[in-house]
Structure 1
């Protein structure tokens, strides 16, 4: 599978079937590098993380569906560590997928995540992204809305035809950092290692996700099935303001949209994709652990387009 699609390709794949993917180095994923002890234990909770356990009160809530956005690439990388060489605050993302009606874990699902780097740039779309660098970090939440009401991703400086947020754009380069796919275990859990995302004009800090089910894992990757959930994960304001004090986030000159101002986040907390975060409040640079349980309808098709 390649990152470039014909005009008809992406729609067909998103609507009905899961792509055939090539496993490149999937067995060589290791939690090493930035963060020392933090990174060394990045995947320690794969077999069970209490932070991702749900309760009978919340497990019946269907996690909000959102727009796919213009920068989705039908997974090129089967991996849990999606950092590559990108600089930023280490982030371990512990996810759990459950059937929202039965509360039973959804095992062997393919979970995609993708997001921008610390300065708001998406791999595969570096020439189209609206990130920025240089200048003074924000020291408080913005007091005024960004000029122009956000309507999608991104609302300003977007590629032609992409202002609605759901119109797919063809990749413009071969970079694939901060993108990856991995399968859920028997408990419906999957863990990724990445960096804390930055921001770009018109959107709050977020991570995109898709959950694919009813496909088959083979030596070549994951084939068939359908997309039952397309959503986004969000970060509370306290964590974003703390990240803005750390390089390279602190060099951004891009106007920031708060969680409350964002037009994609529905303000519903966990059901809307708000992550539960753990980090040293005095030194967020050491790393962040984010967790969430996604309640999905495995029989539904939600492509976010």
Structure 2
């Protein structure tokens, strides 16, 4: 099941596409990428946290048109900074390496991972929870965009990036139950070396609270990602799919 985007939201996304027909900056995939092909809208699997919905809008930078039929992967940590598949890795200690497959998997959990195909509007939506943080990083969501061939081969990764959250949202949620009380200090985007390598142009999501009556129901994050669907990313290569831990 996919979310229903109302007419006003669709119009806003269309205007945003026209204004942002540029390449989105690529960034590393990190050590926790997996090729589970979990095609689903709801990726929570019971993970606790502030409810969050993400709408990713994929645009072809060569035509400024939305792209239908691309496979979009997202993965992120839970409220306490742990990734499924590596749930036993201590999020309060900085990982030694950022390469795919560099950290041995500790379990077969699959919470907060999923993929979906873009629709005719270029949109792909996910229901999740707001991520926490881990040592050395600000709050972020990983994303990869793949172009499948006529044989359903999923090794063609056109784009790999990371999505970031406005500081006003991060600072507020980090004080809530389930997120607060960590032994380490959360980094802001500006303190994060990976975000800062983009010189302030990291991919920042628009994020707002959605209300039902007077109560906050969930966070809605939207972002336009400009890609060349024929490109081949250097951050997830065909060889990466054959690593033992992926």
The residue aligned with 2:227 is: 296
Aligned: 1:189 with 2:123: yes
Asked if the contact 1:243/1:284 (under 8 Å) is kept, the reply is: no
The 5-angstrom pairing of residues 214-253 of structure 1 reads 214-216=148-150, 222-224=152-154, 226-253=156-183
Q: Decide whether aligned partners of structure 1 residues 256 and 180 sit closer, same or farther in structure 2, where only a CA change above 3 A counts.
A: same
SS in 1 for 2:190: coil
Aligned: 1:166 with 2:96: no
Q: Decide whether aligned partners of structure 1 residues 297 and 80 sit closer, same or farther in structure 2, where only a CA change above 3 A counts.
A: same
Structure 1 residue ranges without an equivalent (≥5): 1-28, 30-41, 132-155
The 5-angstrom pairing of residues 11-160 of structure 1 reads 29=1, 43-45=3-5, 49-53=10-14, 54-59=16-21, 61-131=22-92, 156-158=93-95
Task: State the 1:46 CA deviation.
Answer: 8.3
Aligned residues: 229
The residue aligned with 2:191 is: 261
Q: Decide whether aligned partners of structure 1 residues 166 and 62 sit closer, same or farther in structure 2, where only a CA change above 3 A counts.
A: same
Task: State the 1:49 CA deviation.
Answer: 2.8
Asked if the contact 1:65/1:229 (under 8 Å) is kept, the reply is: yes
SS in 1 for 2:159: strand
Q: Which runs of 4+ in 1 moved over 6 A?
A: none
Q: Which has the higher strand share?
A: 2
For normalisation by structure 2, the TM-score amounts to 0.84
Q: Which string of whole-angstrom CA distances, capped at 9 and with x for unpartnered residues, describes residues 166-211 of structure 1?
A: 2423422110000001000111111100001001111000000000
Structure 2 Cα separation of the partners of residues 198 and 97 of structure 1? 25
State the superposition RMSD in angstroms.
Answer: 2.4
Structure 1 Cα separation of the partners of residues 111 and 23 of structure 2? 30
Structure 2 Cα separation of the partners of residues 295 and 75 of structure 1? 24
The residue aligned with 1:276 is: 206
Structure 2 Cα separation of the partners of residues 284 and 98 of structure 1? 34
Structure 2 residue ranges without an equivalent (≥5): 237-246
SS in 1 for 2:208: strand
Task: State the 1:225 CA deviation.
Answer: 5.1
| Max Rg structure | 1
